[in-house]
Homo-oligomer: A and B are copies of this chain.
Amino acid sequence: MFIAMNRFKIAPNRENDFISIWKNRESYLDEVPGFKEFHLLQGASNEEYTLFASHSIWDSREAFEAWTHSEAFRKAHANAGTAKGVYLAHPEFEGFEAVL
């Protein structure tokens, strides 16, 4: 099992705009081999930002990496990250292998 997370710093009071972007996005993930589950996660808030993380579960790191090189990935990200004033920084990717 492999978990792929992208961490997002979102501007205060723009949390609902960020959630809407994800809600209305066509991810095409259901057609991707090795994909198991997706969630958008909301973490802690401070004065500067609210932390969010995209969280997807895959059969393996290989399945995830194959997706990042696919046409489905390109389509899903064609309009990503264009909402003005919502994103305070580039997302930070972290990949995790389940060892237990």
Contact = CB atoms under 8 A, between A and B. Distances in A.
A83 interface: no
Interface residues of A, number: 23
Contacts of A76: none
A100 B43 contact: no
Q: How many copies of this chain does the complex contain?
A: 2
Nearest to A15: B99
Contacts of A95: 43-44
> Helix, strand, loop or mixed for chain A's interface?
strand
A40 B97 CA distance: 8
Given A41-B97, A42-B96, 17 more contacts: A1-B39, A3-B39, A3-B55, A19-B99, A19-B100, A22-B100, A39-B98, A40-B98, A40-B100, A41-B96, A41-B99, A42-B99, A43-B94, A43-B96, A44-B94, A44-B95, A55-B98
